[in-house]
Structure 1
Amino acid sequence: MVGTIVVFLIVGLVITGILINPVSVERRRNRLRRRSFSPVWAAIIEQNLAIYARLSVADQRRLQGHVQVFLAEKQFIGCAGLQVTEEMRLVIAAVACLLLLNERGNYFPRLRSVLVYPTAYFVNETAALGNYVVEERRVARLGESWTNDQLVLSWQQVKQDMGNWRDGHNVVLHEFAHQLDQEDGKAEGVPILRRDSDYSVWAQVMAAGYEQLCRDVERGATTVMDSYGATNPAEFFAVATETFFEKPQALLKKHPAIYEQLQRYYQLDPMQWV
């Protein structure tokens, strides 16, 4: 689920309210990545993240380094009476940092706070019904990603996803994929790519995949990707990311061109973890 708010950008990175020079930021991050990783933390991640044990030792260490940077830079806020535990922070950080495992991204630069609810939460939503009629309703949600500085998750859903890694549904992967998409301030299913020449191929492949999913959903066909991806291109990218990490074999077989684009973007091949 994507939320959008117009914001103004400042050159540099703000951590805990202080503007920091990018060079200083990278030095600080390097120190954090080189820190020894707590065996207790590693055990918590291995217990909750099904594919952790299948990562190479180098990838495990790289993930651990990213987790330490993530936890140092992002604040976690419990909502509706929830007390955020060390396990919650580690699990969310580990899954989110899978998206950055091979240096894909800049630690979600727009994100400052992760809000965690114990279960699904409700928000007020307005919808235009036509003829100048607007309806306001209460809607239950499991997660949201905003372009200003917040991301919202249901811990109950996070835990459910951890126990069903291969079902293609993962709220953390989904919402943090939105963060990557929103790095340029827009949520349109096109993250920042490495080269200008990459955009035309990305647009062609992902637009064709999105249109195919829309057609399949409309006629009630069984799909590899969740039907929610047919909502709009931004949701398609997030759902494709979930499928890429959790159901790589099925995605590669059914949509090899999409798999190739995501493999190039994330610089990862989840087939190695199957």
Structure 2
Amino acid sequence: MVFGFLKKRRREEIRAQPFPAEWLAIIERNVPMYARLSEADRDELLRRVLVFVDEKNFEGAGGLEMTDEVRVTIAAQACILLLRLDDDDYYPALKSIVVYPAAYTVPRKESEGGIVREDDAVHLGESWGHGAVVLSWTSARRGAADPRDGKNVILHEFAHQLDQEDGAADGTPELDRLAFYAPWARVLSEHYLALRTAARTGRKTLLDQYGATNEAEFFAVASECFFERPVQLRTRHPELYDELARYYGQDPAEGSASA
């Protein structure tokens, strides 16, 4: 109880601080999605970035030197997902963001027909359920620079964090009301199965076909598309768009249309 009160008071103090001009310049330069937001949302985003950077541990790996540019670029996009969510804990399970300079390799072991093969898998990002997000800075910066290509590793991995907050990486984050779960399950399941069929038959899709891997990847891919290609998603998949808009509490298609 006392800890919660002190944490809330500290956050209020951090949110009240002037936002550093050099940080704002980083966001305006590296996160063009920021320009789409309303004035009120831009102000709220900056407040959340202050708290996020203060509370999360950023670690450079593979020779990357951690800088404000890396921290603020990542924090701004992570906090875009939280703008209208009642998420006072700012990704509560997340403790560290580990950043490599570029794509990195992870040992992989596969077994097929009794034969075990070991090699290295190339990764651009990962979301771990036990307190870490891992990112490639090259991929993170590239994804942020083009807010209309539907590919953003930061949005993708932090969507996984939201999904994992209830303890399961299953493509269904915690929803506000019990009544929301049934339509969510129906709509996302239909679109996930349709994406799997399209991937299997070679048909082109708006959603990245990596989302056909499993339900968790589908939610992360759909979230990328929702924020980066919202007009196209609303036009081609209106039910999916509406479910994501209700969950995130945002309507980025309107912001894109007026930008």
What's the C-alpha RMSD, in Å, of the aligned pairs? Answer: 1.3
Q: Does 1:126 align with 2:87?
A: no
Amino acid at match of 2:235: K
Q: Does 1:238 align with 2:216?
A: no
C-alpha deviation, 1:40, in angstroms: 1.8
Q: How does 1:32-43 map to 2 (within 5 A)?
A: 32-43=14-25
Q: How does 1:1-274 map to 2 (within 5 A)?
A: 21-105=3-87, 106-130=89-113, 132-274=114-256
- Match of residue 7 from structure 1: none
C-alpha deviation, 1:56, in angstroms: 1.6
Partner secondary structure for residue 77 of structure 1: strand
Q: For the residues of structure 1 that align with 2:254 and 2:20, how far apart are their CA atoms?
A: 26
Q: For the residues of structure 2 that align with 1:249 and 1:95, how far apart are their CA atoms?
A: 19
Following TM superposition, the consecutive aligned residue runs of length 4 or more in structure 1 with deviations greater than 4 angstroms are none
Report if aligned partners of 1:108, 1:183 keep a CA contact under 8 Å in 2. yes
After superposition, the C-alpha distances for 1:162-208 in whole angstroms (9 at most, x for unaligned) are 22211000000000000000001210101000011111111111000
C-alpha deviation, 1:79, in angstroms: 0.4
Q: For the residues of structure 2 that align with 1:24 and 1:186, how far apart are their CA atoms?
A: 30
After superposition, the C-alpha distances for 1:60-104 in whole angstroms (9 at most, x for unaligned) are 110001101100110110001110111110000000000001134
Report if aligned partners of 1:104, 1:267 keep a CA contact under 8 Å in 2. no
Normalised to the residue count of structure 1, the TM-score between the two structures is 0.90
Amino acid at match of 2:59: I
For structure 1, which runs of at least 5 residues remain unmatched after alignment? Answer: 1-11, 13-19
C-alpha deviation, 1:44, in angstroms: 1.1
Report if aligned partners of 1:104, 1:265 keep a CA contact under 8 Å in 2. no
Amino acid at match of 2:79: C
Partner secondary structure for residue 178 of structure 2: coil
Normalised to the residue count of structure 2, the TM-score between the two structures is 0.95
Amino acid at match of 1:264: R
Partner secondary structure for residue 67 of structure 1: helix
**Once structures 1 and 2 are overlaid, which stretch shifts more, 49-58 or 264-273?**
49-58
Q: For the residues of structure 2 that align with 1:181 and 1:78, how far apart are their CA atoms?
A: 25
Q: For the residues of structure 1 that align with 2:23 and 2:150, how far apart are their CA atoms?
A: 26
C-alpha deviation, 1:22, in angstroms: 2.2
Identity in percent: 47
Partner secondary structure for residue 63 of structure 2: coil
After superposition, the C-alpha distances for 1:141-170 in whole angstroms (9 at most, x for unaligned) are 000000001110000001111222110000
Report if aligned partners of 1:51, 1:273 keep a CA contact under 8 Å in 2. no
